[in-house]
Amino acid sequence: MRKMIASSVILGALTGGCLAQTTDDPSITACKSTGLLALQEKSKDISDLVIDMESVAMSKADTSVEDVPVKMVVLGEAYIARNGKTGTPDRFVCLLGDKGKVLLTFFTAK
């Protein structure tokens, strides 16, 4: 048990700490809306994107990709609704830059 707690503390310190989040958090809203649009461009049968808020971890970042600053990383699980029906959750990563601009939203099956 001690090892698990110590690992959690170390992981939290290394990632810059996680922030509390709600469904109305601007970062979550931005990731969801741009992610849904990107998914719908690839497949017209996608009708909604439901983010599992219990799985979401948000970490402030102070890094860059090439010369593009990354200010926030959002990780979690999302249910992709196809024709109104959801299946198993997919994992997602969302990178946000200056002023909350979504730089990347990536989905992958477990």
Indicate the number of domains in the chain: 1
In a domain, 69, yes or no: yes
In a domain, 11, yes or no: no
In a domain, 43, yes or no: yes
The more confidently predicted of residues 66 and 1 is 66
CB 48 within 8 A of CB 87: no
pLDDT higher than 70, residue 83:
yes
pLDDT higher than 50, residue 7:
no
Q: pTM score, two decimals? A: 0.76
Residue 74: which CATH number? 3.10.450
In a domain, 6, yes or no: no
Comparing CA positions, the residue from 88, 77, 33 lying closest to residue 54 is 77
In a domain, 82, yes or no: yes
In a domain, 1, yes or no: no
Comparing CA positions, the residue from 53, 52, 47, 73 lying closest to residue 62 is 73
Tell me which residue range forms the domain holding 47: 18-109
Q: pLDDT tens digits for 25-80?
A: 999 999 999 999 999 999 999 999 999 999 999 999 999 999 999 999 999 999 99
CB 49 within 8 A of CB 78: yes
Rounded Cα distance between 46 and 86, Å, is 10
In a domain, 4, yes or no: no
Lookup result for tokens 């979690």: 76
